[in-house]
Amino acid sequence: MRMSKYYAPTLKEVPNDAEIKSHELLIRGGFIRKTASGVYTYLPLGNKVLKKIERIVREEMENIESQEILMPIIQPAEIWQESGRWDDYGPEMMKLKDRHNRDFTLGPTHEEMITTIVKNELRSYKQLPISLFQIANKYRDEIRPRFGVLRAREFIMKDAYSFHDSEESLDETYKAFYKAYEKILERLGVDYLVVEADTGAIGGSDSHEFQVKAEYGESTIYYCDCGYSATDEKAVSNVIFEESNETEQEMKKVDTPDVKTIEDVANFLNVDKTKIVKSLLFKGREGWVLALIRGDYELNTSKLKAYFGDQTLSMGEPEEIKNEFGVEIGFIGPVGIKNVKIVADYSIKNMKNFVVGGMEKDKHYVNVNINRDFKIDVYTDIRMVSKGEPCPKCGKPLKEIKGIEVGQVFKLGTKYSEKLHAYYTAEDGKQKPFIMGCYGWGVSRTLGAIVEQLHDDYGIIWPRNIAPFELVIIPVSMKQKELSDKAEELYKLLKGKYDVLYDDRDASPGFKFKDADLIGIPLKIILGKKMKEGKVEVKLRYERNSEEVDITEGFEELLKIIEKKLNEYDPKIYVKSIDKE
Amino acid sequence: MRMSKYYAPTLKEVPNDAEIKSHELLIRGGFIRKTASGVYTYLPLGNKVLKKIERIVREEMENIESQEILMPIIQPAEIWQESGRWDDYGPEMMKLKDRHNRDFTLGPTHEEMITTIVKNELRSYKQLPISLFQIANKYRDEIRPRFGVLRAREFIMKDAYSFHDSEESLDETYKAFYKAYEKILERLGVDYLVVEADTGAIGGSDSHEFQVKAEYGESTIYYCDCGYSATDEKAVSNVIFEESNETEQEMKKVDTPDVKTIEDVANFLNVDKTKIVKSLLFKGREGWVLALIRGDYELNTSKLKAYFGDQTLSMGEPEEIKNEFGVEIGFIGPVGIKNVKIVADYSIKNMKNFVVGGMEKDKHYVNVNINRDFKIDVYTDIRMVSKGEPCPKCGKPLKEIKGIEVGQVFKLGTKYSEKLHAYYTAEDGKQKPFIMGCYGWGVSRTLGAIVEQLHDDYGIIWPRNIAPFELVIIPVSMKQKELSDKAEELYKLLKGKYDVLYDDRDASPGFKFKDADLIGIPLKIILGKKMKEGKVEVKLRYERNSEEVDITEGFEELLKIIEKKLNEYDPKIYVKSIDKE
């Protein structure tokens, strides 16, 4: 491709709304342009990378014999009403009406759709297992879209769904997808981690996320050298909450004027946070839930939702709480509260003589004790872990790292097949609901994740397999005929072998080098001063010094060196090395 | 691919809503499934054909150096408001609001979007000409979706847009796309016609449509052996309307009780339809238009809209007309009517002493004459032509044929660049609006169009280049080990060379043959009785008799025959031959 005719508008300025490097570089490099909040156009460079990512994903799906289909983006409301998610999914679901006033959604995911498609047509256990995938747009109306293509409202996903007649069969396919995803990440050429994950709004039992490591990743991951790793939403640890040997004191209600936060309470009453129990009210499908946790810990909402199997569960609004319980949010506590289910984290199980809200403005109870002063409905783990806590597998301190999720696999079980009445005839002749799995890969988000990991001060450093161009030919001047002629000759020779960009613009060498680095092309072939001696310069994206290659005798040597350098090229090793500097 | 594990549910029954053969066969063959009215899922077979069509279209776009991008499906209202099409486009445009109550449309087309994207970034005449394309979903909320993927509400299009600094440059690119489209049709292997076309809601000056010939095509085309061809919306003819030598009679108002249609009037007054002038009221952006045409002709609404450059122009509702003009729709006429623009077809120019509506219930005027009794604002061609009328180029009788539009190219001029303020710096330093072209190809509709042309009583007859599989291996029994073993061997050999389906289902040969014919696979390799003599049978989709090939000495001969037969294979010649039978 000739750069003079290529639509790749690069920018010097950092866009206003770019909070992270990948967003900035994809805009500045001319890969994407924003059309509306969270809605992007992929310019030729961006589209090229996208299509290369798509191809790798598609090939790995075909390698595990998943069959490609294409489902509609606009989905009728009825199937979502049947599964119960029309109301449950919340405001992230974009909805519209057609001219006949029928309700549709712009599909945020396709479990309902695929289940509806195969039901009545996938009939016998003999046809199982089977998996179907598609690569298509998805829509989630994020309240605050950000980070460019990493958290967009319109995005491209590969989603796959599998159907089984046994847990063992699901397990086998789940593992095949797991391996295919690792293969994709290896072909993409990035550093990654596979972690245990929460199943969220999709539901089901097991789930794993595939995370691209990145300094400013959205996900926090806890991991251990022993192999344990999980997202913060899912991570557990082996912290032991020791039995207290205090004797129970008399409970008292004390004045705590304007003392609302845990910090305030600790300071005002001069007690440690570990002597306070935090009380948080949530509202879900089945009413109010009071969650209790030790004052120095953070509540893990994902674990709470997972425990109740209720994704609609959300923190009560202050106004609503006041109306319902007659007391401000800062003074809520388990003593005397009514019409709530009380769920407690294990961290409070052995506490004695602790502080809780007084269920009255400006009051707290001190010397509170479980069972004597209030009852707990259930204990479970609803706590966020922290780095340094003991690994649940081996006990060594957990480490923390940031990542960007690009893939997630789920064991759905019969959640959707039961709700949507999708049955097959089993070997014993009985009608049984399909056991299902689902497997998502964020295609457009992969673009952002890779740039977030692989860049330096000058721009993007694309891995060879997905670089928009593998190499760029740069004559330092188009006015010197001997340079442009040779460049032209080289371009014609190389474009059959590689994905080549020929920077034939009438611009300064510095300008061209900067663009090549910003865009992130793996290899530069520079035709400059050394051409007088019959030499071109060859340089990998991250190399400081170029290698001179004599072309007076022809291009054979040059071709060898190009191939050698491109084979050696590994941006993730380079990026790790600059991280350590 | 092994048929036993392939998701291709074929059906015996004809679906209720299938009015035409392509719709029926794509459903029955397991290519598509309906999700909602005009909304389809592409099952593995359908997706496979779709991807092959996409690939051909993409390659031909790349051959003319068009650059691929990807624009959003959800488009903000603002850009459509700027162009004036937010209101003009009508109820076909699907609209939605996001969670912040901002208006979006599911793009029915992308002129506004592309113009907004390049403005301010495509700056200089030096960057021109340039063309950008995408392959993506489009949405048009058809009032009555029908014919399967031919008139769907969600569909896949390739749309391209070009930018120029001169009409000559636009002309050159327009021709390049024209040729690329012909190339696509040749690679697709169908019979087609390129015709002059109306520009419709897209606007602009010149336009051509690329039509796949088909018995039940939606478009009517008039053409002549001399090379002239146009859609019925656009076609003109050389009919001469001769001067009348009658003397003008006195105009009279006569009673015509309950006489409303042209037929009724002709019968009641015992006059020929050629002595009546039809009066039709339209409402547009600038008010009411009264269109007049000779009683035996049909009005061409597309020509009327094109004349006024107003796509919102539509036939007045009876109720509205009665309110506005105080008279029922059947008695409207040009004499005495007020507040309308009167536009007349050339067919009435030379008429004398004709009949028109009386502008009063149950009345008509007779012996009406132009100028004396009413004035005409403008004469223009607003008439539908008929077959047999003289060709506008050579005078020979026009022929009529049906077709399905798969592509359309437009010269847009500066319509969008002016409205959206998209300027470039010209060679003389001045700011000028881009001259634009746009080029659409209906990717999913191509699927339907091809099947509509290429089928017989048994099913689809795919051309080789887009067939889901090039050949199918059919052992007549899976229980006879010598057959299934040989089939397996053959499958392994052929799948590296061709797109092969192996029908390894435990089913009767008749069942397998029927499915292969319904699905439309070009070549069958049958392992049956003749295997005792070491022979397999090879048969093209439309051949009655198979060719026996000896494989006792190996597969060499078989490979040669497969290649020879596939090279000879041409469904469009076969289909023409059965049409003549």
Which chain A residue shows the shortest CA-CA distance from B92? A99
Give the three-class secondary structure for A159.
strand
Interface of A with B in 400-459 (CB under 8 A): none
Residues forming beta bridges with residue A230, ordered by sequence position: A196, A222
Residue A366 sits at φ, ψ, to 5 deg, of -115, 165
A117 in Cβ contact with B33 (< 8 Å) = yes
Tokens, residue B225: 């052996």
Q: Are B440 and B493 in contact (CB under 8 A)?
A: no
**Nearest chain A CA: its distance from B57 CA (Å):** 15
* pLDDT reported for residue A88: 82
CB A143 to CB B102 under 8 A? no
CA dihedral over A532, A533, A534, A539, signed as positive or negative: negative
Distance from the Cα of A35 to chain B's closest Cα (Å) equals 8
Window 361-400 of A, Cβ < 8 Å to B: none
The DSSP output letter for A346 is G
A126 and B4 in contact by Cβ < 8 A?
yes
Choose, out of A47, A61, A135, the residue to mutate when testing the contact with B (most B CBs < 10 Å). Answer: A47
pLDDT surpassing 80 at residue B203: no
Hey, are the CB atoms on B117 and A41 less than 8 Å from each other?
yes
pLDDT given at position B362: 94
pLDDT given at position A580: 64
Q: Please give the interface size between A and B, counted as residue pairs whose CB atoms are below 8 Å apart.
A: 156
Q: What pLDDT score was predicted for residue A581?
A: 56
Answer yes or no: do B113 and A44 touch at CB < 8 A.
Answer: no
pLDDT one-digit tens code per residue, B66-104:
999 999 999 999 999 999 999 888 899 999 999 999 999
Closest CA to B152 of B141, B136, B161: B141
Say if the Cβ atoms of B153 and A74 lie within 8 Å.
Answer: yes
Please tell me which residue of chain A has the smallest CA distance to B123.
A9
Whether residue B99 and residue A141 make contact (CB cut-off 8 A), yes or no, is yes
Question: Residue B141 and residue A99: Cβ atoms within 8 Å?
Answer: yes
- What amino acid occupies position B90? G
Contact B71 A43 (CB under 8 A): no
Task: Look at residue B202 and tell me whether its pLDDT is greater than 70.
Answer: no
- 3-class DSSP assignment, residue A371: coil
Residue numbers in B near A5 (CB within 8 A): 65, 127, 130
- Collapsing DSSP to helix, strand or coil, B431 comes out as strand
C-alpha to C-alpha distance for B477 and B480, rounded to whole angstroms: 6
Task: Work out the average pLDDT over B465-489.
Answer: 96
Chain B residue whose CA is closest to A128: B5
Fold that domain B252-380 belongs to in CATH: YbaK protein (3.90.960)
pLDDT category, B577, cuts 50, 70, 90? confident
A139 contacts B7? CB cut-off 8 A = no
For residue A105, what is the nearest residue in chain B, using CA coordinates? B96
- Do B35 and A65 count as a contact with CB atoms less than 8 A apart? no
Question: Which of the four pLDDT bands, split at 50, 70 and 90, describes residue B531?
Answer: very high
The DSSP secondary-structure symbol of B165 reads S
pLDDT beyond 90 at B341 = yes
Distance CA B414, CA B430 (A): 16
DSSP bridge pairs for B475: B527
Measured between CB atoms, which of B67, B126, B154 is closest to A74? Answer: B154
Q: What is the pLDDT of residues A182-205, one digit of tens each?
A: 999 999 999 999 999 887 766 677
Question: Could A72 and B44 be called an inter-chain contact, meaning their C-beta atoms sit closer than 8 Å?
Answer: no
Q: DSSP class of residue A15?
A: P
What is the distance in angstroms between the Cα of A49 and the nearest Cα belonging to chain B?
Answer: 11
- Count of Cβ atoms closer than 10 Å to residue B267 Cβ: 11
Domain spanning B17-187+412-453: CATH 3.30.930.10: yes
What is B463-580's CATH number, 3.40.1190.20, 3.40.50.1820, 3.40.1350.10, 3.40.50.800? 3.40.50.800
**What value does the mean pLDDT of chain B take?**
95
**In this complex, which of A74, A91, A113 lies closest to B99 when CB atoms are compared?**
A91
Whether residues A5 and B48 touch (CB distance < 8 A) is answered with no
Half-sphere exposure in the Cβ direction for A570 (13 Å, CA): 10
d(CA A473, CA A531) in angstroms, rounded, equals 14
For residue A73, the chain B residues in CB contact (below 8 A) are 73, 137, 154
Percent of chain B with pLDDT over 70: 99
- Segments of chain A scoring below 50 in pLDDT: none
The answer to whether the Cβ–Cβ distance between A9 and B41 falls below 8 Å is no
DSSP assignment of B359-427: SSTTEEEEEE-BTTTB--SEEE--B---TTSBPTTT-SBPEEEEEEEEEEEEEEETHHHHHTT-EEE-T
Radius of gyration of chain A measured on its C-alpha atoms: 29
pLDDT in tens, B370-421: 999 999 999 999 999 999 999 999 999 999 999 999 999 999 999 999 999 9
Pick the closest to residue A520 from A9, A91, A45, A4 (CA basis).
A45
Would you call the peptide bond into B129 cis, given omega within 30 degrees of 0 as the criterion? yes
Give the bridge partners for A452, in sequence order.
Answer: none
Secondary structure, 3-state, B142-161 = CCCCECHHHECCEEEEEEEE
- A8 CA: distance to closest CA in chain B (Å): 9
**Nearest Cβ partner for B50 among A33, A42, A70:** A70
Residue B284: both structure tokens together: 């547009």
**In this predicted model, what pLDDT tens digit does every residue of B282-312 receive, in sequence order?**
999 899 999 999 999 999 999 999 999 888 8
Q: Do A98 and B141 touch (CB under 8 A)?
A: yes
Rounded to whole angstroms, the Cα distance separating A238 from B45 reads 51
CA distance B31 to B52: 14
Which of 54-93 (B) contact A at CB < 8 A? Answer: 65, 67-76, 91-92
Cβ–Cβ gap B44/A68 under 8 Å: yes
| Inter-chain CB proximity B154 and A94 less than 8 Å | no
Tokens 């609901």 correspond to A433
Q: Is the pLDDT of residue B452 over 90?
A: yes
ipTM of the shown complex: 0.91
Q: Looking at the domain A462-580, which fold is it?
A: Rossmann fold (3.40.50)
> Helix, strand, or coil here: A25?
helix
Q: In three state form, how does the secondary structure of A77-141 look?
A: HHHHHHHCHHHHCCCCCEEEECCCCCEEEECCCCHHHHHHHHCCCCCEHHHCCEEEEEEEEEECC
Min Cα distance A31 → chain B (Å) is: 10
Name chain A contacts of B104, Cβ cutoff 8 Å.
Answer: 36
B40 chain-A contacts, CB cut-off 8 A: 72
> E strand or H helix at B8, and its extent?
none
Determine the Cα–Cα distance for residues A24 and A11; give it in Å rounded to an integer. Answer: 10
Q: B153 contacts in A (CB within 8 Å)?
A: 74, 98
- Interface test mutation site (partner A, options B42, B69, B131, max chain A beta carbons within 10 A): B69
List all residues 6 or more positions away from B332 whose beta carbon is below 8 Å from its beta carbon: B279, B280, B281, B290, B321, B325, B357, B359
Say yes or no: B271 contacts chain A, CB-CB below 8 A: no
Closest CB to A143 among B48, B51, B99: B99
CB contact under 8 A, A7 and B102: no
Reported confidence tier of residue B580, pLDDT bands at 50, 70, 90: low
Looking at residue A89, what is its pLDDT?
86
pLDDT of residue A17: 86
DSSP string, A216-255: T-SEEEEE-TTS-EEETTT-------PPP-PPPPPPEEEE
The answer to whether domain A15-72+108-234+399-453 and domain A252-380 are alike in fold is no
CATH of domain A15-72+108-234+399-453: 3.30.930.10
Residues in B touching A137 (Cβ below 8 Å): 73, 137
Return all residues near B148 (Cβ < 8 A) that are at least 6 apart. B18, B20, B22, B23, B26, B27, B32, B40, B448
Closest-approach residue (CA) in chain B for A6: B67
Please state the separation of Cα B522 from the chain's center in Å: 26
Domain ranges for chain A, please list them: 15-72+108-234+399-453, 252-380, 462-580
- Residue in B with minimal Cα distance to A5: B127
Residue A434's pLDDT is 98
Q: How far is CA B501 from the centre of its chain?
A: 32
Closest partner residue to B143 (CB to CB) among A72, A99, A154 is A99
pLDDT, tens digit, for every residue of B505-528?
999 999 999 999 999 999 999 999
C-beta atoms surrounding B199 within 10 Å: 23
Q: B204 pLDDT exceeds 90?
A: no
Q: Does the beta-carbon distance from A96 to B98 stay under 8 Å?
A: no
Phi, then psi, of A32 in degrees rounded to 5? -135, 160
CB contact under 8 A, B76 and A106: no
Start-to-end CA distance of chain A, whole Å, equals 36
Chain A segment 95-124 residues within 8 A of B by beta carbon are 95-96, 98-99, 102, 104, 106, 113, 116-118, 121-122
Tell me the C-alpha to C-alpha distance, in Å, between residue A438 and each of A53, A412, A419, B404, B433. Answer: 20, 7, 16, 39, 50
